[in-house]
Amino acid sequence: MPGRWSTPRKPARRVVEDPPGAMPSVIEPQLATLVSRAPADGDWSYEIKYDGYRMLVRIEDGSAKLITRNGHDWTDRMPKLRKAIEALPVDDAWLDGEVVVLNAAGTPDFNALQNAFHRRSTADIVVFVFDILWLNGTDVRDQPLRARRQLLRVLMDGAEGPLPRFAGQTQLELHAMTTQLPSGHCIRYRVTLQAIRPYNPFRELPFKDRTLRRFEYRSLMQE
């Protein structure tokens, strides 16, 4: 299924030769690697793992495309979301996020998301954006996570309407995060290390752990 953070088979990498300095035509999403347990030490930041489909957003000259983790263009399947993204105050950008459908309690409902695509009724799909990779002519993948998140927050503050949303983070300890959840909140997570590498598509250091309520990890460069 598109949008899953990890898969038993590694898809073939798409290679596109872009001119130096040009906005990338293709960016491979950074994925997670399954590990036996969550890391106990280190400079970690914790993010909610939404129960949806992974989606990259490419904006060029104000026109948006929504691309699945395997490179499929799903823009035409989500016209309302595309229009909302095109209202963001940016000319060119690559964003990384996850599309979901929220239920009456405000939590992601994966079955509702599947049904929305099956029934071609996608007006309620929301994208939670957690990373920015390119911004108005600048490749920011080599910047540390905190710097990229600052850029992303400024951009998402300009969003009109509820469909594109900024995915928040927390600095709670791992145990605290499992015990201080709001009532009825989704309990799938992606945990991000802020002290190792830039954004990249390889599975060397991003980790996914299924032992503690399905925590997920991705590592980024040292600040």
80 is known as an active-site residue:
no
**d(Cα 63, Cα 83) in Å, to the nearest integer?**
9
Q: Which of 218, 217, 87, 108 is nearest to 159 (CA)?
A: 87
Spatial CB neighbours of 176, under 8 Å, sequence gap ≥ 6 = none
Report yes or no: 206 and 192 within 8 Å, Cβ to Cβ. Answer: no
CB atoms within 10 A of CB 38: 21
Nearest alpha carbon to residue 56 among 223, 213, 161, 199: 199
Helix, strand, coil share (%) of the chain residues, nearest 5: 15, 30, 50
What span, in angstroms and rounded, lies between the C-alpha atoms of 74 and 148?
Answer: 25
Q: Which entry of 49, 80, 83, 208 is annotated as an active-site residue?
A: 49
Residue whose pair of structure tokens reads 């997670």 in the numeric block: 32
Annotated catalytic residues are 49
